[in-house]
Structure 1
Amino acid sequence: MIWQTKSTSSAETERLGEALGRLLKAPAVLELKSDLGGGKTTFVRGLARGMGSTDIVASPTFTLSKIYKTKSGEIHHFDFYRLDEPGVVADQLSESLADLKAVSVIEWSKIVKDVLPADRITIEFKPVATNTDERQISFSYPDNLAAIVKKLETKWARVQP
């Protein structure tokens, strides 16, 4: 299943992440896709806030992973951009996926595709025009995760102009 929406700014992308964070419960897996600077970390910043985290959210490009404390558990944020092979970080990801109190967020997931569960929400950010922050954001998800995305869609429709 697929739901698509638009974001006209970084602030709006962050608000969309926050709206999902208010609905999402662990365990959950989010796969984020975009080009460099596409809005993935901005979205995670909102997601963390929506889940009650006060941690500073930054891209884990150089550290490969970061953990943010939330009211009910943790967000495990992975970024595999700099890796040619998953190595030990794939083991870390496997542990995260097994953690019932964690929401696992994965950027640049191609090298760990075999580790990712089918039960995940894939969120893709595509620029609408050059030199703007406007994005087409697509949520792809299996039937068993439809309820959460439908709630997000309904909530998001109410706050959009």
Structure 2
Amino acid sequence: MGADRPGGIAWEARSSSPETTEALGERLGRALVPGALVALIGELGSGKTTLVRGLARGLEVRAAVTSPTFTRMRALPGRLALFHFDAWRGGAPELFEQGAEFLAGDGVAVVEWAERVAEYLPRPRLELSLRHLGPDERGLTTRLVPPPEHAGPGARALALALGAALEQARTTPGLDVPLR
């Protein structure tokens, strides 16, 4: 899986379409455990909310997923509750004072624009960076923070969830996940 590489890089992938990015999110959502924190990093339009839609489907969330930019956090019930944060507008202390119990809760917390509030995010967490490669193509890179070799059971649980999602993702049409 490559999770033992320096910096905690677990894997890199190339998605050929929004549907493929969403399918990857669904596989990840199926594998995540209670208390997981996923930090999404990427420029506008890179597919963060698209990935969250799939993740929500994997968590069996029935509500529509939209970017919570103006509400800043949405709690959506499912097999595991999804706590969807948006840090676009910054204000990390206020944002996380309002939602601190959700970051350490029994559901899954996802933070879009996580690079804007990284210093306030708890560890361990899965950081997933998305970048434009073409009109519909996206590059995805994951990193466990801290790397599994320097972390406790929470990070190891995230690493196992990521590994399970990766194995399933290899069969997703339009997703290129190089073998490591």
TM-score (norm 2): 0.81
The alignment-based identity, stated in percent, is: 36
Query: Given the alignment, which residue of 144, 147, 159 partners 1:146?
Result: 159
Q: Distance between the aligned counterparts of 2:33 and 2:120, measured in 1?
A: 21
Query: Given the alignment, which residue of 15, 38, 41 partners 2:46?
Result: 38
Please give the residue correspondences for 1:10-159 in structure 2 after superposition, counting only pairs within 5 Å.
10-71=18-79, 73-83=80-90, 85-99=91-105, 101-129=106-134, 132-141=135-144, 142-143=147-148, 144=156, 145-159=158-172
Q: Distance between the aligned counterparts of 1:152 and 1:81, measured in 2?
A: 27
Does the aligned pair in 1 maintain the 2:20–2:172 contact within 8 Å? no
| Local SS of the residue matching 2:162 | helix
Q: Distance between the aligned counterparts of 2:43 and 2:27, measured in 1?
A: 23
| Local SS of the residue matching 1:150 | helix
Does the aligned pair in 2 maintain the 1:90–1:112 contact within 8 Å? no
Match of 2:151 in 1: none
Provide the aligned C-alpha RMSD in A.
Answer: 1.5
Superposition misfits of 4+ residues, deviation over 3 angstroms = none
Deviation string, structure 1 residues 18-47 (Cα, Å, up to 9, x no partner): 010111121100000110111001100000
Q: How many pairs does the alignment contain?
A: 156
